[in-house]
Structure 1
Amino acid sequence: MENNINQAVTAFKNFIENNLNYHVLSVMSFDDYKSFVVKVFALLNELKSMGVTKNEIYSFINKHYSNVTSAADENDILFERRFSAITEDIIEFCANPLFWSTDFDVYMKKWDKLFATDWCKKV
């Protein structure tokens, strides 16, 4: 069982490294971004269901955040908003509800509210 968890965590980290980066995220349409957010948190919810904790993901996301922001175009405000919204929610440097302590459906209502605003659509 632990091998399955390790494989799932590794697959999640690879997915994040390959997709949650400047080159991919900066060219996403709003609809693609919405789908991507849902996929990220659905995958993370599967890990949470397996018993993976925030602490097991925290250092990876912090390191990834630093690597991506150092390589990103600092003038791309929309990218920064979108990228930070995802990463800050994973490490819980954000407003309630918090992902790691909230039912998934309740948590995703937070994103539905954000998607309804222009904040992650345009600058």
Structure 2
Amino acid sequence: MRSSVSAGYASGLFNLMRNLGGAIGIALANTWLQDATRLHVLRLSEGLGASGDAAGEAAAQLTQSIGQFVTDPHRATLMADALLARIVGRQALGLAFEDVFRMMSYLFIAALLMVPFCRPPTVLGPPPAEH
């Protein structure tokens, strides 16, 4: 009777730790993803600013293309800027996913390399008798 109760407690504790570990892992990966996305947006924006002529020409051509469908030139400029922002954001998110996947792969490889060094504890004396 007593061992079934303790098995139930152990099962509940195991499920709690598994769910808690999963939640912490997801939160950590999401934090890494957001930070990496911000970093890549910053770098891509700096790159667009550094190549001012090429980026300006691309934005002007995009504004002109959108201007064929929109009568207000200011609105066409805003739409072109929004489209460029979406493109930069999409590329930054793709690069961030690559970074996070690489980091998680390195952590997995490090954990895999530690497995041979993990040994069960040595038991001193006979195992406890069950009631």
* TM, length-normalised to structure 1: 0.28
Q: Which has the larger radius of gyration?
A: 2
| Greater fraction helix | 2
Higher RCO (C-alpha under 8 Å, 6+ residues apart): 2
TM-score (norm 2): 0.27
